[in-house]
Structure 1
Amino acid sequence: MVNPAAQRLAVRVETWPIAGLFTISRGAKTEARVVVAELSAGALHGRGECVPYARYGESPESVVAALEAMAGKVAEGLTREDLQHEMAPGAARNALDCAFWDLAAKQAGRPAYELAGLPPPHPLTTAFTISLGTPEVMAAAARNASARPLLKIKLGADGDPDRIAAVRAAVPEAELIVDANEGWRPDNLAANLAACAAAGVTLVEQPLPADADDALRTLDRAVPVCADESAHDCASLAALIGKYDAVNIKLDKTGGLTEALAMAAEAQRLGLMTMAGCMVATSLSMAPAMLVAQTARFVDLDGPLLLARDRAEGLVYEGSLVHPPAASFWG
C-alpha cells in the first residue's frame, strides 16, 4: 500500500522577464531563468527556488538533473538534515533545502522562523541595483531611483571612477554600495577604491577575482570590502580573514537556508559584517533569505524589483521596504 504522505519531488524551470536590461561586468541579460523544487507530502506542498549561475558551472539543465537524481531518496524519506550531506552547496541544494523548510512549516502549522529558533522577522530596507553602463546612463538611472535610500552600483570596467562620481553627483543623499563582480585588477584597485572613498561609498563588493584576491591583504583601504564570489559556505569563511571586512551570504551559494543561517552566525562570530544577497529572481527566492537578512548589516534582496512581474502573492515592497512573506506564500 502506498503511503499517502510519502514525499514526492517535482522540478521545473521557469523564465521571468527582466524589466529592461540587467548588466554587470560579466555580461547582460533580459530574463531570469529559475528552477523550482516542489516537495509534496499528502495534501501539503513546500516550494524552493534557485538561480543556476554559470560562474559556478551551473545551468538550468544541470540543476534540474541534480534535483531529479534526488527524487528516489526524497521518496525514501530524505530529511533536510540528510540533504546537507547528500548534495554539495549550490543552487540545486538551495531549492530543495528551502522546499523542506516550507513543507516543514506547513506540516507543523508553525512559521519557518519559529522552527529555526528565530524571532519574528520585520520589514527591512533593501538596496536597489543600478546596472553597469556609461556614466551618463548610470547617473540617469540613479536619479530615477533617488527616492530609494540605498543603491547598489554595478561597476567592474574601465572608467569606473567616472561612473561612481557621476552617480554620486546624481544622488547626493543616497547611501551607496558598489559591486565590481570581480571586474577590477590589482593595478587599478587602489585608484578605484579611492574614487569610491571620494564618493562616500559605504562598501565595495568583490573587487578582484576570487583567485586573485590576496592583494587585499596588504591594501590600506578607506572603504570596507565585502566577499561575494570568494565566499560560499561556512568552510570558506576562515580564508577571508585579513582580506575582507564583510561577506555576502546568498542562498544559491550556500546551498540553502540551513547553511546560510549557520554561515551568518559564524561570520558574525569571526567579526565579519554580513550582507544578505540574491540573484535576479522572484519572491520565492527572497522569502527564505529574509530570515538571514534580519541580522545583516546590508540587505540586497531587490530581485523581484528588477523583474517585469513577480509571483502572485509574493513579497510586498513599499519602495525599498520589503516585508516578510505571508505564511501561505512560503514558510
Structure 2
Amino acid sequence: MRTLSAEVERWPLKQAFVISRGAKTEAAVVVAEIADGPRRGRGEAVPYARYGETIEGVVAQIETVRGRIVAGADRAELQGLLPPGAARNALDCALWDLEAKRAGVRAWTLAGRARLDPVKTCFTISLGPPEAMAQAARENARRPILKLKIGERDDLAAVAAVRAAAPKTRLIVDANEALTFDELRRLAPELAALDVMLIEQPLRAGEDAALEGYLSPVPLCADESLHTRAELAACARRYASVNIKLDKAGGLTEALALAAEASALGLGLMIGCMVATSLAMAPAMILAQGAQVADLDGPLLLTRDREPGLAITGSLIEPPSPDLWG
C-alpha cells in the first residue's frame, strides 16, 4: 500500500524578495511524498497568500485526500479531488514522479516529449530604489533576460536606470497588479522607448476588462488573471501572452493542457514559478520547452538549494536528474 507524507520546509533567501504586495525573506514550501514500496515520488508547492492560501491550509487540504491517495488515486482522479492550487500541485507532481519511477522512464517521456533540452531563465530584480535596482542589473547584465518588479511612483526612473546598467539585456517588467489603467497607458509608451519586451499583469485580476481593445505599445502578459483553462478565453481578449505556473494551475497535468490550449489560441507562453527550490522547478522544465520565456529562477534567489538540485550555469538550467525528480 502507498504512504503519503506532507512536510513544511523553509529556505532562506539571499536577500529580501520585494514586489508591490510586500516582501519575503524565506521560501516556505510544502513537499508531498508518495511512496509505493521502494519507489517514491515528490512534489513541491508554495502556498500563496494572494490566492488565500496558507502553509497550514495547504497541508490540511492534502490531508483531506490522504485516503484516496494511499488507496491508489491517479493524476486524472486527483483533478476532481482538489481545486487548482498549491495542494493539488504538490500531489500532482509527486504522482508524476512516482509514475515515472514505476515505469522506468523519465517524466518528459510520459508527457509525450522525446527529450528535455536545457532552458535559459529570466532573473528577477526586486522592487526597490532606482539606484539599488540598477546595481542589481549591473551585477547581472550578462543574463539574457532581466525581470523587474515595479509598482512605485518612480517606476520609470527605475526601468531607465536598469536599462542604462544593462543595455544589451532584454527586459520584462512585472507590476503584480499594482497599476491603474491610466498609469499603464502613461507608462507603456515610455517602456517601449526603453525597449521593454513585455509588461506582466499591470492591472488587478478581475479588473482587467479595460484591456479589451487596448493596443499596448508593449505586449501584455497575464499572470494573476490566469490560473487554469477556465480563465483562458478572457485572457485571450486582453493579453498577448500568459504566465503559466504549476502552483496556480494545480499541477503539471492541468498546466500542460493549459499550455496547449493557450498556444492554439495564439498566445505566447511564459513559464513561471514561485520562489522555491529546484524540486518545484523540475516539472516546470517540461512546460518550458519551446516557451517564449522561462522564468524559473527560484533556486538562484536562495541562500542554498536542496541536494541534488538543478545544475544551473549562469541562466542556463539543465534537465533534472532522476534523483531530484521525474
- TM-score, normalised with respect to structure 1: 0.97
Which moves more between the two structures, 199-208 or 214-223? 214-223
User: Deviations along 1:174-215, whole A, 9 cap, x unmatched?
Assistant: 011111100111221112212211110011100000121112
Q: Which residue matches 1:212?
A: 207
Shift of 1:8: 1.2
Q: Distance in 2 between matches of 1:101 and 1:311?
A: 20
Instruction: Work out the CA distance in 1 between the residues paired with 2:268 and 2:181.
Output: 24
- Structure-2 residue corresponding to 1:299: 294
SS in 2 for 1:218: coil
Check whether the contact 1:13–1:35 (CA below 8 A) recurs between aligned residues.
yes
2:173 to 171, 178, 186: 178
For 1:42 and 1:161, locate their aligned partners in 2 and report how far apart those are by CA, in whole Å: 56
Residue number in structure 2 paired with 1:116? 111
For residue 295 of structure 1, report the CA deviation from its aligned partner.
2.3
The alignment partner of 2:263 has SS state of: helix
Question: Within 5 Å, which residues of 2 pair with 1:1-331?
Answer: 6-331=1-326
Q: How far did 1:275 drift?
A: 0.5
Partner of 1:328, secondary structure, is coil
CA apart distance, 1:68: 1.2
Q: CA deviation at 1:323?
A: 0.7
The alignment partner of 2:237 has SS state of coil
Deviation of the 1:242 alpha carbon? 2.0
1:218 offset after TM fit, Å? Answer: 3.1
Q: How far has the Cα of 1:328 moved from its partner?
A: 1.9
SS in 2 for 1:153: strand
State the 4+ residue runs in structure 1 displaced beyond 6 angstroms.
Answer: none
Gap runs ≥5 in structure 2: none
Contact 1:126 1:320 in 2 (8 A): yes
Deviation at 1:70? 1.1
Fraction of identical pairs, as percent: 57
Aligned equivalent of 1:3: none
1:26 partner amino acid:
R
Whichever residue aligns with residue 34 of structure 1, its letter is V
Alpha-carbon distance in 1 for matches of 2:120, 2:162? 20
CA apart distance, 1:221: 1.2
Q: CA deviation at 1:33?
A: 0.1
Which piece of structure 1 moves more, 214-223 or 236-245? 214-223
2:184 counterpart letter in structure 1: L
The CA deviation string for residues 198-257 of structure 1, in whole angstroms up to 9 with x for no partner, is 110011100000121112113221111000000001121011122100000000000000
